[in-house]
Amino acid sequence: MQTDQKAIEQRMNKIVPYRRHDAASQPSSLYEPYRATVRRAPRQPLVLLPHTLSEITGPVYGHNDITETDSDLTRQHPGEALGERIIVTGRVLDDNGRPVPRTLVEIWQANAAGRYFHDRDNHPAPLDPNFTGAGRILTDENGAYRFTTIKPGAYPWKNHDNAWRPAHIHFSLFGPAFATRLVTQMYFPGDPLFAFDPIFQSIPDERARQSLISSFDLAITRPEWALGYQFNIILRGREATPFET
């Protein structure tokens, strides 16, 4: 029994935790111009959770249910989705520059008119019966993913007088472990609403803010079919980088 315990402890000692985020690269939990943060920001100092076996080795789940149309949001219904067709592609890397293969990337977004397919979105813009606005894909061996979708519209959100969100696509990634989970938003270059958006502005570091803006890439476009944007995503890497064997 004691031997088992010792073996477990030895294995635990080999666990290399994930690097903590640089605070300036993350949105402030309290940013008054973003009104919802006033209600939900923690009032007590944060407690750092140790990265133990469960945070570092999970989640483990089956990947069999993902189909081809899950990553083509324009072909999930009998008719064509309305709007400007786009390809969004990039790589998921860790902050040691290594690809994160076979990881789940999920997206959700408003339609071309800026309306979500959701009960609580009732702003006066049309729904598109051929566009749900949700997709998912697994990264390949090189950490690459690729979605075909519709460029989302800006939408009003009542945070303050005349508040509009810049066009964006929500991203969720599990990465290789719970400790690397990332939920973020991708924006489009040159959006005039950046300066007025407290969600975008709640990230203190300018470089981190810019990293959320995709880049237009003519090489990704498909002639006569779709424009192309590149968006690379960096997840936490391990604190100690093991040498390659």
Residues with a catalytic annotation lie at 116, 155, 165, 168, 170
Q: Can you point out the beta strands (E) in the chain? A: 85-94, 104-108, 134-138, 144-150, 155-156, 164-165, 168-173, 182-187, 215-216, 227-230, 233-235
Q: Give the residue from 88, 85, 162 showing the smallest Cα distance to 131.
A: 85
CA dist 132 and 109 (Å) reads 9
Q: Give the residue from 152, 173, 140, 12 showing the smallest Cα distance to 83.
A: 152
Reduced to 3 states (helix: H, G, I; strand: E, B; else coil), residue 213 is: strand
How many Cα neighbours within 13 Å face the side chain of 118?
A: 12
| 187: Cα separation from own chain's centroid | 11
Q: Give the residue from 68, 112, 79, 105 showing the smallest Cα distance to 90.
A: 105
CA dist 56 and 59 (Å) reads 8
Please name the residues in contact with 181: beta carbons below 8 A apart, sequence gap of 6 or more: 173, 174, 175
